Amino acid sequence: MDEELEAAKERAWRETAAIDAAYARGELDDAGWHEAVAGLIVPAYLAAATPEGGSGSSRDAVGWERARSLVADAVEAGQSFLDVGCANGHLMESMARWAGVEPYGLDISPELAELARRRLPRWADRIWVGNALDWRPPRRFDVVRTAIDYVPDPRRQALVEHLLSFAGRLVIGVFNEERDLRTQEQLVTGWGFEVVGRSERTHTHPRLAYKAFWIDAKS
């Protein structure tokens, strides 16, 4: 394993790998996996000094827009947009500005959802708490954005299927991946879904790219 490359992909990769290994050994169930991941993420996000840091990015405002605005390529102005794992809501407000969408948010952490409501009081009633694997939304959405690593590995196909049950389009990303690989896309297409669009930009690391791709619900 190239530790330097893995660190460029994800700041807490060692801790995350340890949680995944404990889950694979049967030491953690689904609830324990989520609790352990929240123990890493929630304190760091709540303590962040910037909106970007409070939404999981180590970049400044310019770097945030360069990476995360890839999602805007998948939407049209006026569409409803649900950010799964919305954290402090910074992507919600960014997407409203970048793409003119109507933003909504979901987070598994009550603390982060409450932070998002305080930051975005005009949208407080459209920010919910729930586990995306079994959450029942009050409405359908034109576009839903997620990451597949929000759940344990064996549950990732179920996550995609569930989100597509109330989304016209599902965006996966933004994630960091080697420029010449499409590992996440291949995983999703292996489950029988068709990738209908993608967007990517060069990363600060020369071997990586910021990536997002999307699939549409079957009509």
DSSP code, position 123? G
More confident residue, 205 or 111: 111
Per-residue pLDDT of 118-160, as tens digits, reads 999 999 999 999 999 999 999 999 999 999 999 999 999 999 9
Q: Is the pTM of this model over 0.85?
A: yes
For the chain, domains (ranges, CATH) are 59-216 (3.40.50.150)
Helix 61-68 and helix 90-99, axial crossing angle in degrees, nearest 10 = 70
Helix (H, G, I), strand (E, B) or coil at 102: strand
Q: Among all chains, which residue has been given the structure tokens 């407000």?
A: 93
